[in-house]
Structure 1
Amino acid sequence: MGIIGLGGGPLSLVSQIGALYGGRRFSQCLVPFHTDPNVAGTLRFGEGSEVSGEGVVTTPLASEEGETNYKVTLKGISIEETFVPFNTSNDVLSKGNIMLDSGTPTTYLPQDFYDLLVQELKGHSTMVPIEDDPDLGSQLCYKSEGNLEGPILTAHFENDADVPLMTTQTFVPPKDGVYCFAMAGSSDGEYIFGNFAQSNVLIGFDLEKKTVSFKPTDCTNE
């Protein structure tokens, strides 16, 4: 077991093998959190890692050349037809306001943005949130014996790159019979689109074109 550096910096594996395998690009397809541990996702480098076909959307990378983190611009998230903007104030939306990080499970959002999302999620559900479990803290959680049935969320990235998020990507089971919202609020100015939300999406990073492409995919069968 170990760590593979997949960032945009010169020391990452992507940069070091790019000249040998068809350019500095790679794709990943992560399986959902509660998938059988014997089922693995995929990771491809260079030629053959392009994300193409029906359903692909592409957004610009906002990271500087050689920067390790992959930054993109998230305009907001919709719960069904209700759009919640990333900036809840009238401030200009800053480029590269969120980082795509496959090493962080939870998605971290500005606190005001997160609070509005939770409010809208509660309004779009007929279920009653769990409020009497100290182990869950202030998380939005529901009791469900099977896979949770809830509203579809859509992440809206720059360049009309809309990525639908099913409940397997937005709610995870911390224990049997309980599903909790896989996002959290943050006040430190560092925001992350985590690997729960990235699961079941074929994601292609092209460091030469400076783009990220998304394609909804069953990563357990990739």
Structure 2
Amino acid sequence: MSSQSAKSSQMHFGDNGVMSGNEVVSTPIILKSPNTFYFLTQEGFSVGRQKLEIYNYSSSSPNAFGASGNGNIIIDSGTTLTYLPLDLYEKLESAVKSSIGLQNVYAHFTGADVKLNPMNTFIRTSDNIVCLAFAPANIAIYGNVAQVNFLVGYDLSKKTVFFKHTDCGRVL
């Protein structure tokens, strides 16, 4: 894995921000309180061929994955790691450890399977140490490491988030 550089990417608004094409996947934004966050419905993760579905896990925190699952994760470009309820995090960590050949991880949202590459799944903390970019917490947040090298589009009138793999270091 190469180290991450401090390159910036571009932000587009209005008609210039429309995302389309075969590679684009989308998922609904769920409206709930507090309305300062964008909530998505996370259905699970896949590590290699092993699928970890959300409904197999329960959490005592009302802000984490709930019984219905709608709006169970916040997408936040200001949070570095992806945070998951402890029981789901432990299953994900175990699956990653057992397939440490750096297989791709998929985040499954309603209507959108987002393929996470090693740079979205791990953080290099030194020359010899690479850490999982996920952590357990009482609230579920889809952080910015998982969003690296994706165009992430928000269509607030359609209440939809779009994902498209891209090379964000490339000048457009």
Q: Under a length normalisation based on structure 2, what TM-score does the superposition of the two structures give? A: 0.88
Q: 1:154 aligns with which of 97, 100, 106?
A: 106
The offset of 1:200, in angstroms, is 0.8
Q: 1:209 to 1:54 in 2, by over 3 A?
A: same
Aligned residue in 1 for 2:44? 76
Counterpart selection for 1:117 from 92, 104, 125: 92
Q: Which amino acid aligns with 1:181?
A: L
DSSP 3-state at the match of 1:103: coil
Contact 1:87–1:113 (Cα < 8 Å) also in 2: no
The structure with more radius of gyration: 1
Q: Which amino acid aligns with 2:105?
A: L
Unpaired runs of 5+ residues, structure 2, are: 59-65
For residues 55 and 65 of structure 1, what CA distance do their matches in structure 2 show? 31
Residue type of the partner of 2:26? T
**Residues 56-111 of structure 1, C-alpha deviations (whole Å, 9 max, x = no match):** 11110002499221100000000011101223347744200000000000000010
Contact 2:108 2:114 in 1 (8 A): yes
SS in 1 for 2:70: coil
For 1:6-155, list aligned pairs within 5 A.
Answer: 34-37=3-6, 39-64=7-32, 67-89=35-57, 92-125=67-100, 150-155=102-107
1:216 to 155, 165, 170: 165
Counterparts of 1:178 and 1:119, CA distance in 2: 18
With the length of structure 1 as denominator, give the TM-score of the two structures: 0.69
**Contact 2:55 / 2:69 at 8 angstroms: preserved in 1?**
no
Query: Contact 1:86 / 1:110 at 8 angstroms: preserved in 2?
Result: no
CA–CA distance in 2 between the matches of 1:173 and 1:89? 29
Aligned residues: 163
Aligned to 2:148: 199
Greater shift, 75-84 or 117-126, is seen at 117-126
**Uncovered stretches (5+) of structure 1, i.e. residues with no partner:** 1-32, 127-149
The SS at the match of 1:116 is helix
- The aligned amino acid for 2:71 is G
User: Residues 180 and 65 from structure 1, CA distance in 2 versus in 1: closer, same or farther, beyond 3 angstroms?
Assistant: closer
Q: Distance in 2 between matches of 1:78 and 1:166?
A: 12
**C-alpha distance in 2 between matches for 1:64 and 1:122:** 35
Bigger mean CA deviation after superposition, 175-184 or 85-94: 85-94
Tell me which amino acid in the other structure corresponds to 2:120: Q
State the secondary structure of the residue aligned to 1:47: helix
- Identify the residue that residue 62 of structure 2 maps to in structure 1: none
1: CA distance between counterparts of 2:12 and 2:33? 22
Task: Return the letter of the residue paired with 1:192.
Answer: I
Q: Is the 8 A contact 1:51 1:213 kept in 2?
A: yes
Identify if the C-alpha distance between structure 1 residues 97 and 66 changes in structure 2 by more than 3 Å, giving closer, same or farther: closer
Aligned to 1:172: 123
